[in-house]
């Protein structure tokens, strides 16, 4: 059985999902594409050989030929489109964020809880990255004892011109928020953001890098250096320190190079390259989960929690002091942590 998928948004992530569905997920077929800009949707549809194209995402969601939906349009559209998928009873993979604000994410979560079944998966693809999967397997197996501290770095060589300080927290660090919650199985209760001297390579007025300190409900402390104009590579690091050892993210499948008198590891230059396999495994798992009736990956509770933590980080940067995170009631549908997606 082939799952008939509609993709909303023909920008970078929508294009990636269409390509990956076509090349790495034989049990799915993209049958419809929508984008608010007609030429963009038509161009992607032409490239992918898809003949149903529309500028109206709601039309795509309610199209009887579409069995499941991928949302990769702008953040402000996520809430209405995910709610429409719920109304249509269709499984949906929504790129992060789940919604534009924690309040909107909460509304999505409440709507799904009222349905009583999980329909939305949030596009936190790192859960499907093999290196992160191995790290999680070691932590879960007790190889380092109880986790105490986690050190992370999120470095992009550069980012688009519109990427401001706020986005460093909500678009980049949001991934560390999800990975720390997933790896440790703990919730963030407090956030502090420090502002080192800004790099001269960052646009004027952009605070880059930032240092974010998260405290969790089990007393662990996680630091994240986010530096999105780091020039040299796309470099994602993560080390978890436990009571009896430490475990760090391994090299993500790149070549160990000895050349011209040096020895080193090649690095990716962008997130599409670094997490290419994660995107493929994310979609494979989503499609398989729909067939099996078992949701995988991050769910609405994870999307809501990530959004609430990022909002606290924005407030912490503005205040210069710690900001508490208060997550509202966790509905029974999300009573246990989501399935532990991502292999070992
Ligand atoms: C970007 O906004 C993303 O969403 C990517 O997933 C992330 O890896 C990248 O660093 C961000 O800038």
Kindly state the percentage of the chain with pLDDT values over 90.
Answer: 93
Atom of ligand 1 lying closest to residue 275 CA = 8
Contact criterion met (CB below 8 Å) for 63 and 48: no
- Give the pairing of strands 188-194 and 210-216: antiparallel
CA 217 to chain centre: 22
Alpha-carbon torsion, ordered 184, 93, 21, 125, to 10 deg: -20
pLDDT of 51 above 70: yes
Give pLDDT tens digits for 225-279: 999 999 999 999 999 999 999 999 987 777 888 989 999 988 899 999 999 999 9
Indicate the pLDDT class of residue 1, thresholds 50, 70 and 90.
Answer: confident
Nearest 10 degrees: Cα torsion 17, 47, 54, 117: -20
- pLDDT bin (cut points 50, 70, 90) of residue 108 is very high
Architecture of domain 3-126: 3-Layer(aba) Sandwich (3.40)
Query: Comparing 3-126 with 127-277+305-324, is the CATH topology the same?
Result: no
Ligand 1 and 178: CB distance under 6 A: no
Which atom, in ligand 1's list, is nearest to the CA of 159?
Answer: 12
pTM (predicted TM-score): 0.95
The answer to whether 112 touches 83, Cβ cutoff 8 Å, is no
**Do 95 and 102 contact (CB within 8 A), yes or no?**
no
CA distance 68 to 7: 9
The closest of 225, 196, 228, 229 to 213, measured between CA atoms, is 225
pLDDT-derived band at 48 (thresholds 50, 70, 90) equals: very high
Residues 236/153, Cβ–Cβ less than 8 Å: yes
In this structure, the number of other CB atoms found within 10 A of the CB of residue 244 comes to 9
- 4: β partners: 29
Q: What is the pLDDT of residue 250?
A: 83
Confidence of residue 336 (pLDDT cuts 50, 70, 90): low
- Give the model's confidence band at 344: pLDDT under 50 very low, under 70 low, under 90 confident, else very high: very low
CATH-assigned architecture of domain 127-277+305-324: 2-Layer Sandwich (3.30)
Contact status, residue 6 vs residue 63, Cβ threshold 8 Å: yes
**What are the sequence ranges of the domains in the chain?**
3-126, 127-277+305-324
> Whose C-alpha lies nearest to ligand 1, atom 11?
172
At 156-215, the pLDDT tens digits run: 999 999 999 999 999 999 999 999 999 999 999 999 999 999 999 999 999 999 999 999
The CB of 125 under 6 Å from ligand 1? The reply is no
Q: How far apart are CA 224 and CA 176, in angstroms?
A: 7
Give the mean pLDDT of 309-315: 98
pLDDT at 343: 34
156 CB within 6 A, ligand 1: yes
Which pLDDT belongs to residue 179?
98
pLDDT score recorded for residue 252: 74
pLDDT given for residue 89 in this prediction: 98
CA dist 53 and 56 (Å) reads: 9
Helix (H, G, I), strand (E, B) or coil at 242: strand
Closest CA to 77 of 140, 24, 13, 28: 13
Q: Examine the pLDDT at 327 and tell me if it is beyond 60.
A: yes
Q: Cis omega (within 30 of 0) on the bond before 57?
A: no
What single-letter DSSP state applies at residue 126? G
Ligand 1 site, residue 40, Cβ cutoff 6 A:
no
Give the percent of the chain with pLDDT over 70: 97
Burial class for 312, CB neighbours closer than 10 Å (0-12, 13-18, 19+)? buried
């Amino acid at each position: 059985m082939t799952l008939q998928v509609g993709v909303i948004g023909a920008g970078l992530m929508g294009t990636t999902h269409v390509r990956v569905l076509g090349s790495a997920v034989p049990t799915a077929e993209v049958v419809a594409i929508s984008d608010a800009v007609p030429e963009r949707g038509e161009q992607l549809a032409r490239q992918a050989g898809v003949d149903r194209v529309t500028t109206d995402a709601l039309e795509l969601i309610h199209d009887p030929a579409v069995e499941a939906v991928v949302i990769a349009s702008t953040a402000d559209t996520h809430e209405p489109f995910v709610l429409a998928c719920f109304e249509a009873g269709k499984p949906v993979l929504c790129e992060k964020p789940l919604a534009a604000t924690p309040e909107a994410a909460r509304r999505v979560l409440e709507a799904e809880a009222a349905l009583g079944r999980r329909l939305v998966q949030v596009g936190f693809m790192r859960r499907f990255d093999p290196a992160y999967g191995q790290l999680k397997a070691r932590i879960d197996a007790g190889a380092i004892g109880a986790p105490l501290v986690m050190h992370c770095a999120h470095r992009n060589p550069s980012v688009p011109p519109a990427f401001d300080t706020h986005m460093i927290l909500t678009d980049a660090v949001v991934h560390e928020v999800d990975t720390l919650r997933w790896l440790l199985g703990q919730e963030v209760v407090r956030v502090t953001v420090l502002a080192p001297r800004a790099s001269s390579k960052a646009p004027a007025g952009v605070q880059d890098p930032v240092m974010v300190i998260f405290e969790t409900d089990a007393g662990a402390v996680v630091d994240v250096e986010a530096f999105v104009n780091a020039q040299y590579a796309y470099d994602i690091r993560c080390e978890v320190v436990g009571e009896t050892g430490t475990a760090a993210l391994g090299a993500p499948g790149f070549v160990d190079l000895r050349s011209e008198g040096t020895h080193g590891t090649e690095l990716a230059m962008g997130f599409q390259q670094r997490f290419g396999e994660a995107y493929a495994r994310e979609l494979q798992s989503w499609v398989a989960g729909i067939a099996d009736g078992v949701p995988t990956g991050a769910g609405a509770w994870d999307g809501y929690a990530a959004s609430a933590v990022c909002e606290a980080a924005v407030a912490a940067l503005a205040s210069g002091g710690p900001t508490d995170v208060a997550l509202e009631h966790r509905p029974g549908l999300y009573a246990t942590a989501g399935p532990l997606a991502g292999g070992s």
